[in-house]
Amino acid sequence: MERESLALVLVGHVDHGKSTLIGRLLCDTGSLPEGKMEEIEAAARAEGKEFEFGFILDHLHEERERGITIDTTQTFFTSPTRDYVIIDAPGHKEFIKNMITGASQAEAAVLICSVAEGVQEQTKRHAYLIELLGLEQVVVAYNKMDLVGFDRARFLDVKRDMGAFLDRIGVRPSIEVPISARDGDNVAERSEKMPWYDGPTVVDALDVFEKITPPREKPLRFPVQDVYEDPEEPDRRIVVGRVESGTLREGQRLRFLPDDEVRTVLSVRQYARGNLETAGPGECIGVVCDAGPPERGQVGCPADSQGQGGKANVTDRFRASVFWLSATPLEPGNADWPLTFKCATQARPCRAAAIRERVDSGTLEHLPPDAGRLEETEVGELVLETAGPVVLESFYDVQELGRFVLVRGRDVVAGGIVTHVRD
């Protein structure tokens, strides 16, 4: 049987120990290929450096850059129960983009906080993001316990500070573990240095989390990614994409929105599996249709959607919570279309029509929205407009069609979630 895998993100202030913890997780669960540790230790010695567990991750990043490992964003470790995919990215901003675009949607998070430094602004911003993205399976790891002599009182102090913030944003951690990532205490092995702690290790805490399987009974949403010529019948086209929600069936009639073209599904194919009768959420498929193919960016929905959980939302004005990432602030205006809205495979020129709310993600301070701009690291409740219709869902209904990025030039300047499909 195929082993289950769970997608995990590690978040927290820079230098609080994310890379070290990832290194430990890989090493202490025996997930590194044979000889890898020795190779990395030797490389560190050759550079005259003392080995650190964070080097493991650096080494894997380097291998990726040189194209030695195939996967570009993900790192794996295994526990007796399942496999874990760690979604990591080199920097703070890349990481936030990664998390929001959900190229790799996380199912659980480890929020890491050094007890030596305590809860910092970035810790809070990352926690805010966990809440924004609706991640409910959260472990808080209080790291660097070795630096405070494994002192219980210090652990409780930082835990209290953290609790006060998490409470305000509505994040409820499942487990809070005092660890030393450097020494491996309470990561995969129980620590003897903290006899006062009788809870699970980080790995044990993660093993209790549940795999999130998207429901098949939601309405079908099938964003078109690409259209190819059928190699067997050159005048036929194969429409390729990923089923984001619901179920797609052979013989079904699809309405491709926003263009509103109806097609019948002649066959459903999947690479390596051949023809399928049905395809469910998360499955990447090719669909052969009876008439000319829809284009990239169209979203296939049931043609008679009324009976199947409601019609798809086609809109050009909606509300969203937006995490602004650029040093150049967002200034709403109605004159032109300075941004590109990207959601699933859709891309449309976009502008902010209004800022309804403005919050500092680090302090949770509500700022006056009428200041007319959204600054870096602020979260705004915005009214967004697109130049032409887009197919959207509220993030709380269908995550993949409810989360998006805003691009200016070639930069991703914001990530967000749709809160109301109409303003």
> Which residue number, 65 or 259, has a Cβ lying nearer to ligand GDP?
65
Distance between CA 413 and CA 384 in Å, rounded? 14
- The verdict on 141 binding ligand GDP (CB under 6 A) reads no
Candidates 17-25, 164-172, 191-199, 221-229 — which segment interacts with ligand GDP by CB under 6 A? 17-25
Q: Would you state the structure tokens that stand for residue 132, as one six-digit string?
A: 């924004």
- The verdict on 191 binding ligand GDP (CB under 6 A) reads no
Beta strand residue intervals within 218-298, DSSP E? 222-229, 237-242, 248-249, 253-257, 261-270, 274-276, 278-279, 284-289
Q: Which of 51, 103, 96 minimizes the C-alpha distance to 74?
A: 103
- The verdict on 144 binding ligand GDP (CB under 6 A) reads yes
Among 6, 9, 11, 18, binds ligand GDP (CB under 6 A): 18
- Nearest-approach distance from CB 27 to ligand GDP, in angstroms: 13
> Which residue number, 128 or 404, has a Cβ lying nearer to ligand GDP?
128
- The verdict on 164 binding ligand GDP (CB under 6 A) reads no
Candidates 12-20, 237-245, 330-338, 346-354 — which segment interacts with ligand GDP by CB under 6 A? 12-20
User: Which residue in this structure is represented by tokens 């930082």?
Assistant: 158
What dihedral angle (degrees, nearest 10) is formed by the CA atoms of 209, 132, 86, 149? -80
Beta-sheet pairing, 346-360 with 366-367: antiparallel
Burial letters 130-147, b for 16+ CB under 10 A, else e: bbbbebbbbbbbbbbbbe
> How deeply is 34 buried, as exposed, middle or buried, from its count of CB atoms within 10 A (0-12, 13-18, 19+)?
exposed
Query: Number of residues in contact with ligand GDP, rule: CB under 6 A?
Result: 17
Among 6, 9, 11, 16, binds ligand GDP (CB under 6 A): 16
- The verdict on 110 binding ligand GDP (CB under 6 A) reads no
Distance between CA 65 and CA 36 in Å, rounded? 17
User: 178 has which bridge partners?
Assistant: 142
- The verdict on 20 binding ligand GDP (CB under 6 A) reads yes
User: 390 has which bridge partners?
Assistant: 315
> Which residue number, 152 or 249, has a Cβ lying nearer to ligand GDP?
152
Residue type at position 47: E
- The verdict on 17 binding ligand GDP (CB under 6 A) reads yes
Find all residues with CB under 8 Å of 3, minimum gap 6, and list them.
78, 82, 83
- The verdict on 262 binding ligand GDP (CB under 6 A) reads no
Candidates 65-73, 140-148, 211-219, 335-343 — which segment interacts with ligand GDP by CB under 6 A? 140-148
Distance between CA 91 and CA 114 in Å, rounded? 18
Sign for the pseudo-dihedral over CA of 409, 414, 420, 423:
negative
Candidates 9-17, 60-68, 88-96, 124-132 — which segment interacts with ligand GDP by CB under 6 A? 9-17
Candidates 121-129, 180-188, 289-297, 374-382 — which segment interacts with ligand GDP by CB under 6 A? 180-188
- Nearest-approach distance from CB 90 to ligand GDP, in angstroms: 10
Among 143, 252, 315, 346, binds ligand GDP (CB under 6 A): 143
- Nearest-approach distance from CB 185 to ligand GDP, in angstroms: 8
Q: Cα-atom radius of gyration of the chain, to the nearest Å?
A: 23
Q: Which of residues 50-89 bind ligand GDP (CB under 6 A)?
A: 52, 54
- The verdict on 146 binding ligand GDP (CB under 6 A) reads yes
- Nearest-approach distance from CB 296 to ligand GDP, in angstroms: 37
Among 175, 181, 240, 352, binds ligand GDP (CB under 6 A): 181
- Nearest-approach distance from CB 363 to ligand GDP, in angstroms: 22
- The verdict on 182 binding ligand GDP (CB under 6 A) reads yes
84 C-beta neighbours (distance < 10 Å), count:
26
- Nearest-approach distance from CB 180 to ligand GDP, in angstroms: 4
Q: Which of 106, 310, 343 minimizes the C-alpha distance to 218?
A: 310
Q: Are 364 and 168 in contact (CB under 8 A)?
A: yes
> Which residue number, 20 or 298, has a Cβ lying nearer to ligand GDP?
20
Write each residue from 360 to 379 as x if it is in contact with ligand GDP (CB under 6 A), else as -, in one continuous string: --------------------
Q: Which residues bind ligand GDP (CB under 6 A)?
A: 12, 14-20, 52, 54, 143-144, 146-147, 180-182
